[in-house]
Structure 1
Amino acid sequence: MIVTIKDVAKKANVAPSTVSRVIANSPRISEKTKKKVREVMEELGYHPNFQARSLAAKSTQAIGVIMPNSAYYAFQNPFFPEVLRGISTSAHDNKYGIYLSTGSTEDEIYNEVTSMVLGRRVDGVILLYSRINDKTMNFLQSSNFPFVVVGRPDEHDERISYVDNDNIFITKQVTNYLIDLGHQNIAFVGGSTDFVVTVDRLNGYKLALKDAGISFKKEYMVFEDFIKENGRKAIESLMNLNDPPTALVTQDDLIAYEMISHLEDMGIRVPQDISIVSFNNLMLSEHSKPPLTSIDICIYQLGFEATKCLLEKISIPDTLPKRITIPTKFIERKSCEQKK
């Protein structure tokens, strides 16, 4: 005999609509009621027909996850598997699936997102990046479609829900850490200037120098495009300056690893000759040589909270935009030392 939603409602002494909301994990239902209804569902062996529910409710029970470039390149960076782990956990808890983007250029990403939205293939979207003047984000906002950004939006951030670290403050703090170690010649090795995270971290670096009365030098800046083109040449351009840096603030651990490798080939020792601090605190950070001082930006939590925020927007469309700031942890290891 097939168990129906009405059987569950009768046994749990609630309305069928309440059972339906429990299945959808609606925030309007108390945890006590959810627990009672779920226990009855398990006792009776009731399994919701999510396909039928999706058709009836015009819901896909899926969210789109959009990366800044193709999955092939994104997964070379351990940030993305970890943020996806947080997204997957939260989505699974709420009976949602994930639709992963495959576009590799800005235009391909835009076309894929418009297809997702207009074709109603997903109920909402998570952007795993914040690009300056991003037409995909502009499209989502103008379409009034549920979306959340991992990263601070370039503009209209008061109208957009996003989850981020306080990158300006964090980078100011790590630059101050190097200044307190006696370093004055500090270089900034950043990501792409197309992305807000790079701009925010550069601003934090500049603020620390300004507060310490240290002149900002353009020649102490190197960005991702130059590093991708020739990482060895990028670090050589810094170390061959008349007044080379004695410390580096790097965009992430992957760039830091590359810099350490090139420095070693050049006979420059870390931290004896140059100190390095980085971001992300990847698994290999403590096993690198030397172990890398890094900022743990809590990548898993960024994904988990972004998904939680998106599902709330899907469930309650009138939810006001939110800014969620994920705390970070400074992990001090052996890649920095007092300037001699």
Structure 2
Amino acid sequence: MRERPKIKDIAVKAGVSVATVSRALADSSLVTAETRQRIRELARELNYRPNVSARNLRTRKSMAVLLVVRDVGNPFYLDVLKGVEATAREAGYSVLMGNTENDPARETEYFNMLRDGHADGMILMTGKLPPGSGSRAGGWSHQPVVVALEMIEGSSLPHVQIDNVGAARAAVEHLISLGHRRIAHISGPVPEPMSLNRREGYRLAMGEADLDIPEGYEVRGNFLLESGQEACRRLFALPEPPTALFVANDEMAYGAVHELRRLGCDVPRDVSIVGFDDLYLSKAFYPPLTTISQPRAEIGRTAMDLLLKILSGEDVDPGDAIVLPTALNIRSSTAPPHGYSGRET
């Protein structure tokens, strides 16, 4: 079997010392850019792969980061993972994905992996810290953790987010512009900040249009399809059900559409629906879902960039949140109310 190439093989071929090769592969500024490039090309030519275990013993780094999510089965996280991984690989890191399924014990387990050195940093997308850590991040404020999308109220951890209030307001304003007046909201789990912010956007849009929110028009879900079905069932058992729904994520919106079909309602002729996330299935869903699009891959890249800055010792101000843009994608799940003439009655 052919012997695995070593750093000294690159050094001999490049005509430099082993130390220079090691520094070049670590992207050290002590080696000129030209020499670094030449050594990288030789490493690729020789199919050199670093001995990760030996490097980890020397540096006391795992060269791995954790991406921790609520539900690995949710396709929303796939594009985020792609963005994280692309940026991580360029810096020599691998990515481990943690799936909590909202289990506090599993959440604690992943934080312990970070604390015990099995990962060098974490991108957290659950909106929760381990039980007993305190709402203000407590003992975790010094750890290399970046919070992505899911806000943790009072936390001093750096974060990447979108304007949930503004995006939700735009979604409801679209329904109002079509002529809807009876608009209900299926929220995510309350009192989590992301759910509260999307609900606030709904309330702002309704208030600015001088529209009442009848009792029972705000129903709490948990971001899963089944909760969208259950919430829709409750809404359409009301004496005066809504003509439109703003749903806090696409997966619950799918559940709401399924329930409406079971009830004999047509979307959008009888009921219009707007979701949030723009999952790749939303274009192929019937009818194609009007929804808020988030830059998922960019969220992953930005969060990983921020984590790399922390890992390299750069000062990061946690008070300055990085806010990425959203867009309302209008498709076939929204239309004017049935029989609407365009005139106020």
- The TM-score range, normalised by the shorter chain, is 0.7 to 0.9
Deviations 1:36-57 (A, max 9, x none): 5423543566543332222111
- Which amino acid in 2 is paired with 1:112? E
- Which amino acid in 2 is paired with 1:154? I
- Which amino acid in 2 is paired with 1:101? G
Match of 2:7 in 1: 4
CA-CA distance at 1:144 after TM superposition: 0.8
Report the identity percentage.
30
Q: How many residue pairs end up in the alignment?
A: 333
Contact 1:25 1:94 in 2 (8 A): no
Match of 1:215 in 2: 212
Match of 1:335 in 2: 333
Q: Counterpart of 1:219 in 2: which secondary structure? A: coil
Deviations 1:254-304 (A, max 9, x none): 111111111112111111111111112122212222111112212222222
The one of 236, 244, 253 aligned to 1:247:
244
Structure with the larger helix share: 1
Q: Does 1:42 align with 2:39?
A: no
Match of 2:57 in 1: 55
Deviations 1:219-250 (A, max 9, x none): 11111159877655532321232332111111
Deviations 1:14-62 (A, max 9, x none): 9947x55653457999977754542354356654333222211110001
Seen in structure 2, the aligned counterparts of structure 1 residues 14 and 248 have a Cα distance that, compared at 3 Å, is farther
Q: Counterpart of 1:66 in 2: which secondary structure? A: strand
Contact 2:188 2:223 in 1 (8 A): no
Contact 1:8 1:44 in 2 (8 A): no
CA distance in 2, matches of 1:187, 1:27: 58
Structure 1: any 5+ residue segments left out of the alignment? 69-73
Seen in structure 2, the aligned counterparts of structure 1 residues 278 and 10 have a Cα distance that, compared at 3 Å, is same
Match of 1:283 in 2: 280
Which deviates more, 4-13 or 113-122? 4-13
Which deviates more, 251-260 or 21-30? 21-30
CA distance in 1, matches of 2:98, 2:228: 29
Match of 2:343 in 1: none
Match of 1:320 in 2: 317
CA distance in 1, matches of 2:26, 2:138: 24
Q: Could you state the TM-score of these two structures normalised by the residue count of structure 2?
A: 0.83
Contact 1:189 1:248 in 2 (8 A): yes
Seen in structure 2, the aligned counterparts of structure 1 residues 284 and 78 have a Cα distance that, compared at 3 Å, is same
Q: Counterpart of 1:240 in 2: which secondary structure? A: coil
CA distance in 1, matches of 2:111, 2:227: 35
CA distance in 2, matches of 1:10, 1:318: 39
CA distance in 1, matches of 2:124, 2:80: 11
- Which amino acid in 2 is paired with 1:51? S
CA distance in 2, matches of 1:254, 1:27: 47
Contact 1:280 1:294 in 2 (8 A): yes
CA distance in 2, matches of 1:205, 1:22: 53
- Which amino acid in 2 is paired with 1:208? A
CA distance in 1, matches of 2:261, 2:234: 15
Structure 2: any 5+ residue segments left out of the alignment? 341-345
Match of 1:200 in 2: 197
CA distance in 1, matches of 2:38, 2:187: 52
Which deviates more, 289-298 or 31-40? 31-40
